[in-house]
């Protein structure tokens, strides 16, 4: 994949949807810069640009909940990707849910529809 063929946004980022390869479940949306995409392609594991940290990180770097890339799809405008991945361990979301999309709008209110699979404080507060 030639990164020059992609349409990066004004901040040099590309939106990427991560989808579980076997079930089709949408797990998360994140952003990649050129470095994150290159590392992902080289290693076969998802790397993202963490805007809150200002750096490239391997998904699951802290928690061990990594994502192995199985297939990459490019949208018609060349400005977004879908990465079909194998989720290592049970959850993709840093809030402890399988998917970052664990809430749905029902009667004007957000309803939690996912099950929390791990306690984020137990995983992430250890490294502070």
Cα angle value 118/49/126 (rounded, 5°):
35
Rounded distance, CA 91 to CA 87, Å? 7
Q: What pLDDT, in 10s, does the model give residues 11-48?
A: 999 999 999 999 999 999 999 999 999 999 999 999 99
**Is this prediction's pTM over 0.95?**
no
| Domains of the chain (ranges, CATH numbers) | 3-127 (3.10.20.810)
Indicate the pLDDT class of residue 80, thresholds 50, 70 and 90.
very high
Measure Cα distances from 14 to 32, 35, 96, 118 in Å.
5, 11, 25, 29
CA 126 – CA 128 distance, rounded (Å): 6
Contact 63, 123 (CB under 8 A): yes
């Amino acid at each position: 994949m030639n990164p020059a063929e992609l349409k990066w946004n004004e901040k040099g980022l590309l939106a990427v949807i991560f989808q579980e390869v076997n079930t089709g479940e949408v797990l998360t949306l994140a952003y990649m810069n050129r470095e994150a995409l290159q590392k992902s392609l080289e290693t076969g594991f998802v790397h993202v640009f963490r805007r809150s940290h200002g750096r490239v990180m391997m998904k699951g770097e802290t928690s061990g909940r990594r994502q192995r890339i199985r297939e990459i799809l490019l949208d018609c405008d060349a400005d977004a990707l879908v990465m079909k991945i194998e989720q290592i361990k049970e959850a993709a979301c840093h809030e402890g849910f399988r998917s970052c999309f664990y809430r749905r709008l029902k009667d004007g209110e957000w309803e939690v529809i996912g099950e929390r699979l791990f306690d984020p404080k137990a995983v992430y507060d250890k490294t502070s």
